[in-house]
Homo-oligomer: A and B are copies of this chain.
Amino acid sequence: MPRAVVTGGAGFLGSHLSETLLARGWDVVAIDNLSTGSLGNVAHLRDDPRFTLLEHDIVQGIPLDGPLAGRVDAVLHFASPASPPAYLARGIETLEVGAIGTQHALELTRANEGARFLLASTSEVYGDPLVDPQTESYWGNVNPIGPRSVYDEAKRYAEAITMAYHRTHGLDTHIVRIFNTYGPRLAPGDGRVVSNFLTQAIRGEPLSVYGDGLQTRSFCYVDDEVRGLLALLDAPYHEPVNIGNPDEFTVLELAELVHEVTGTTTPIVHEAIPVDDPRQRRPDITLARELLGWAPTVDLVDGLERSYSAYLAAARG
């Protein structure tokens, strides 16, 4: 049975990834310090004997004994605060997990000859992009000293050190640049727009739109995202690959769809736009299509409906 280590395995993406790996016959060790992840995200996996949750901060190192004794076939490095409010409140911690945590995950891979490594990078490496859509060859437009740099620069550093381990040690590394992803278990009120809106709709609160709401986003349903990044893990390709949904919506359009899907009509309130909030972010997924034969299949209304059902069920307890 192949065995995977998922750092951040009790987070939104990490928990979906663990679930999919288990369904595909992997053993999974999830490592999480529960800083932004939660036990609730993996509650449904804890009875599976092939799933282990190790509550641990990978910045302190990754022990090669205990649950990690024995062969590891793949290391999927997803540990990091990922929503702006979460990383802005944990600036130094976010920098540390991007640099030191990534290096520890690379060293774990290196300790297992032939193991594969996947870095969860992000569209944030493109910053506030000057080209649209963004291809992987775009170098980005990131403010190195702005408040968001604790995340953006940490992820750019993580890409750089991943490539350095590939070049220096011949490690079988992969880098996925993840665009806006949503779905069940995206923490309510974590500050990302889909979870904000769904939570507000359920509570009967107004939908908060930052700025004029004309900034655009592309939203990828989590099942599509996980399928894409697992395809990348199998590919003989080491440079970054965008995995995201290129369908573009303004934040106001999303608000309307949330009204439609939830059958609510709470008003929209405009709030101050955060510093360095990108105007636009949309993946060019030509590379993923050609390299992996991957494309998203869940449209936004369908994905919002699935998410809304899950949020309702969770709200009911």
Contacts and interface: CB of A to CB of B under 8 A. Distances in A.
Interface of A: 91-92, 95-96, 98-100, 103, 125, 127, 139-145, 147, 149-150, 152-154, 156-157, 159-161, 163-165, 167-168, 175, 239-240
A96 B239 CA distance: 21
Given A92-B164, A95-B161, A163-B149, A156 B144 contact: yes
Contact of A157 (B125, B127, B154, B164): B154
Contacts of A140: 142, 144
A126 to B, nearest CB: 10
7 contacts: A91-B167, A92-B164, A95-B157, A95-B164, A127-B139, A140-B144, A144-B160
Nearest to A127: B139
Contacts of A150: 160-161, 164
When all copies of this chain in the complex are counted, the total is 2
Nearest to A165: B92
Of residues A139, A141, A160, which shows the largest number of chain B Cβ atoms within 10 Å of its Cβ? A160
Nearest to A159: B144
Contacts of A100: 99-100
B149 A154 contact: no
Contacts of A95: 99, 157, 160-161, 164
A175 B92 CA distance: 17
Nearest to A148: B160
A160 B153 contact: yes
A167 B147 contact: yes
Contacts of A98: 157
Contact of A139 (B99, B141, B147): B141
A247 B240 CA distance: 38
